[in-house]
């Protein structure tokens, strides 16, 4: 039950609680999130060439993002543990930033959404990129972490930039 503000994780007295999803129908739910890591052009070239001292930055960031999505309920206090059916993390170079764009997808057939799993995957992938390249560029900037879209569930579909309910 939501409080007067419409927030489902806050009770009438303001206390935080985990939402009871027991009566909800299990449906397929998908979420896509994104983020960016802006860096010096030389840092981007180093990463793309595979010459970072710590190893394969892009491959490691993909794996870190996938692992993070699977552990979201351990990191975000009121999230439910989910049996994810798919998690993917795609990382593309963007010379205009310059830097890397991270896009994470999470999918589940369940009673609650996967927005937090997608957001966590994108965030941790960006953090991993920073960690692996910070020796050459401590000025990198992580930004633009946001939900791009979500489908399924009682609240319906959402796409960033479209009118919200």
pLDDT on residue 163 = 61
Could you report the per-residue pLDDT of 127-162, keeping only the tens digit for each? 999 999 999 999 999 999 999 999 998 888 999 998
Which residue, among 91, 82, 41, 85, has the nearest Cα to 63 in the 3D structure?
91
CA separation (Å) from 22 to 18, 72, 112, 164? 11, 20, 10, 27
Number of domains in the chain: 1
Q: Which of 92, 94, 131, 137 is catalytic?
A: 131
Question: Judging by beta carbons within 10 Å of its beta carbon (0-12, 13-18, 19+), is residue 87 exposed, middle or buried?
Answer: buried
Flag whether 1 is in a domain: no
Asked whether residue 9 is domain-assigned, the answer is no
Active site residue 131: yes
Enclosing domain of residue 101 = 27-159
Residue 145 belongs to a domain: yes
Q: What is the pTM of this model?
A: 0.88
What does pLDDT average to over the chain?
Answer: 90
What average pLDDT does the segment 64-85 reach?
95
Q: What is the pLDDT of residue 3?
A: 43
d(CA 119, CA 107): 12
């Amino acid at each position: 039950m939501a409080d007067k503000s419409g927030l489902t994780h806050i009770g009438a007295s303001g206390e935080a609680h985990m939402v009871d999803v027991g009566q909800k129908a299990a449906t397929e739910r998908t979420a896509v999130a994104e983020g960016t890591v802006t860096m010096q052009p030389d840092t981007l070239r180093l990463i793309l060439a595979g010459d970072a001292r710590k190893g394969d930055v892009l491959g490691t960031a993909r794996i870190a993002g996938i692992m993070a999505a699977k552990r979201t309920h351990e990191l975000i206090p009121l999230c439910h543990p989910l049996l994810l059916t798919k998690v993917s993390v795609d990382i593309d170079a963007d010379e205009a930033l310059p830097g890397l764009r991270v896009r994470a997808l999470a999918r589940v057939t369940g009673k609650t959404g996967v927005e937090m799993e997608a957001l966590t995957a994108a965030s941790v992938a960006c953090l991993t990129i920073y960690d692996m390249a910070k020796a050459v560029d401590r000025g990198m900037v992580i930004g633009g972490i946001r939900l791009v879209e979500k489908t399924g569930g009682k609240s319906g579909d959402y796409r960033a930039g479209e009118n919200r309910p």
